[in-house]
Amino acid sequence: MLRNKQRRAIIATVTGNGLEWFDFTVYSYFSITLSKVFFPTGNDLSSLLLAVATFGVGFVMRPVGGIILGIYADKVGRKSALTLTIAMMAVGTLLIAVTPSYESIGIAAPCIIVFARLLQGFSAGGEMGTAGAFLTEHAPERRRCYFASWILSSIGVAILLGAASGAAVTLALDATTVELWGWRLPFLFGSLIGPVGYYLRKHLDETPVFAARSKADRSPPLFSLLSRHFKEIAAGFSLSVLWTVAVYVLLFYMPTYAAFALHRPQSEGFVAGIVGGLAMACAAPLAGILADRYGSRTVLLLSAFLILVLAWPMFKYINLVPGIASLTIFQILFGALTGAYTGPILGTFARLFPSDVLSTSVSVAYNFAVTIFGGFASFFVTWLIAQTGSNMAPALYVMAAAAISLLGVAMIRSPKGWKRGWAQDAAAASGCCQ
């Protein structure tokens, strides 16, 4: 049974993390509409590429935010960093919701959107590593993967809510109204989550592991971190490649893919996305439980391998039989596999790094992978489809990511790496998180 303190920690953490991913989901799902509102070029493909490039711009700031906020979390505290990240994310979401169109204020409109995405990117850079550290340090030693899996489950919930809001808007309003103001409603809803998450995080207790450490033990310089834990960071980077590509290509990008490549109504992609988000939300905690019992490496290896071998035939399937049924089957399968792969991953990171550098290490490994492979995945895949005329480009991208992450799984097989730092941390926080 979970203690009240542990339950509050999970709820507050996933609320903030869910806001981040809800906003990313909505922006990705409405990228075609946003391209017309803020990036009118007279050419639909060019406008879409500008919109998805702006989506990717936020990821340029993620490594910067990850390093700065990761060091802040390791030095000052997990709670303080998490409170800061959700405040910045909420401001960015609100800016997108209220910015006038290009037609109303000209070039200032896309400039504001770019600024909002940069602010969100900086915030998101520090969110995942700090949230993972916060929950794993509140967890009993044998339940770290399960506790941290709720962060990944919240991504599925965010995808579900983002898809549901997109479906509601596109089904309730005509296309003209959606383009005029309807698209703003999900962003306004997202901005309202921010104050709730801020309040919850503000009233949390610091983790017992962090509280037990003296200031002198907290957060070494960045270069020292890289030299001491380079192999672990490289493994974390490799593991994060499939994580980010699976989420951004197999889940976020699919409504755009359905409309752009399969020429299906956008509402079909939204409805399928609801089911995919639900599948991920359910699969992640189950995978966390299995990882705590049978080992993270087994769960990561199996799920990554299945994504590798199923990507090509499933993309072939939805191209041969395009429609709501095939899209839904696709999203259920890959939503579940994405949840299975990502569910144990933060718990795995917590065993690779000692807690005094945990936030910074995870932020560096994860955010560089996201920036390189995930942030511009939508742009790259859309461009590749346009250049080659092949709708199978996303499958190849996903398969390459799975191959890289399988190498990462192989890098963590040494049992010694799993216990690094945690024996001391457990002793320091003895009795606090049992």
Per-residue confidence (pLDDT) for residue 216, from 0 to 100: 54
Q: C-alpha 4: how far from its chain's center?
A: 27
CA angle 257, 258, 262 (to 5 degrees): 100
Per-residue confidence (pLDDT) for residue 76, from 0 to 100: 86
Per-residue confidence (pLDDT) for residue 218, from 0 to 100: 54
Per-residue pLDDT 10s for the chain (434 aa) are 567 777 888 888 888 888 878 887 788 778 778 888 888 877 667 777 777 677 677 788 889 999 899 888 888 888 999 999 999 999 999 999 999 998 899 889 888 988 998 898 899 888 888 998 888 888 887 888 999 999 989 988 888 888 888 888 988 999 899 989 999 999 998 888 888 888 888 888 888 888 776 565 555 556 666 678 888 899 999 999 999 999 888 887 888 888 888 989 877 887 888 898 899 999 999 999 999 999 999 999 999 999 999 999 999 999 999 999 999 999 999 999 999 999 999 999 988 888 778 888 888 899 999 988 987 788 788 888 888 889 999 999 999 999 999 999 998 864 444 444 444 444 444 443 33
Write the CA distances from 230 to 67, 131, 235, 344, 353, integer angstroms.
Answer: 15, 22, 9, 21, 11
CA angle 196, 129, 285 (to 5 degrees): 75
Question: Distance between CA 428 and CA 211 in Å, rounded?
Answer: 9
Other CB atoms within 10 Å distance of the CB of residue 309: 11
Tell whether the torsion through CA atoms of 167, 172, 175 and 178 is positive or negative.
negative
Question: Distance between CA 225 and CA 333 in Å, rounded?
Answer: 38
Tell whether the torsion through CA atoms of 179, 121, 29 and 47 is positive or negative.
positive
CA angle 336, 342, 346 (to 5 degrees): 155
Burial zone of 393 (CB within 10 Å; 0-12 exposed, 13-18 middle, 19+ buried): buried
Per-residue confidence (pLDDT) for residue 214, from 0 to 100: 57
Other CB atoms within 10 Å distance of the CB of residue 325: 12
Residue 73 near residue 137 (C-beta atoms within 8 A) = no
In 3D, which of 291, 294, 282 has the Cα closest to residue 335? 282
- Dmax of the chain from CA atoms? 64
Q: What is the DSSP letter of 392?
A: T
In 3D, which of 135, 188, 178 has the Cα closest to residue 266? 178
Residue 286 tokens read as 């189950």
Number of residues assigned to the chain: 434
Per-residue confidence (pLDDT) for residue 161, from 0 to 100: 86
Q: Per-domain residue ranges for the chain?
A: 4-203+221-424
Question: Distance between CA 331 and CA 275 in Å, rounded?
Answer: 7
Q: Using a cut of 0.85, tell me whether the model's pTM lies above it.
A: no
Other CB atoms within 10 Å distance of the CB of residue 30: 29
Per-residue confidence (pLDDT) for residue 340, from 0 to 100: 96
Give me the DSSP letters along 30-46: THHHHHHHH---S-HHH
Residue 26 near residue 158 (C-beta atoms within 8 A) = no
**Three-state DSSP class for 165?**
helix
Q: 4-203+221-424 maps to which CATH number?
A: 1.20.1250.20
Question: Distance between CA 34 and CA 29 in Å, rounded?
Answer: 9
Which single residue is written with the structure tokens 């949230």?
131
Write the CA distances from 429 to 209, 285, 416, integer angstroms.
Answer: 5, 25, 21
